[in-house]
Homo-oligomer: A and B are copies of this chain.
Amino acid sequence: MKYPGGVKRTGVKKIEYAHRGMALEDSINLSNRYYLEQNIAVIYKKPTPIQIVKVDYPSRNKAVIKEAFFTVPSTLDYNGLYKGKYLDFDAKECKNKTLFPLSNIHEHQIKHIRRVLHHKGIAFLIVSFTLLEEIYLLFGEDLLEYIDHMQAKSIPIDYFRKKGHRIEVKYIPRIDYLKIIDKYMEGGYRE
Contact A50 B69 (CB under 8 A): no
Complex Cα distance, B178 from A119, in Å, reads 14
Whether A65 contacts B84 by the Cβ 8 Å rule is no
Partner of A81, one of B48, B74, B116: B116
- B-side contacts of A49, CB under 8 Å: 47
Number of interface residues of A (CB under 8 A): 37
Per-residue CB contact flags for chain A residues 97-133 toward chain B (1 = under 8 Å, else 0) read 0000000000000001001101111000000000000
One complex includes copies of this chain to the number of 2
Q: Is the CB of A112 within 8 A of B42?
A: yes
Kindly state the separation between the CA atoms of A81 and B75 in the bound complex, as whole angstroms.
Answer: 12
A47-B46, A84-B119, A112-B42 known; A67-B66 Cβ under 8 A: yes
Whether, in the assembled complex, A161 has its beta carbon less than 8 Å from a beta carbon of chain B, the answer is no
Q: Chain B's nearest CB lies how many Å from the CB of A108?
A: 11
What is the bound-complex CA distance between A47 and B67, given in angstroms? 16
Residues on the B chain within 8 Å of A81, using CB: 86, 88, 116, 119-121
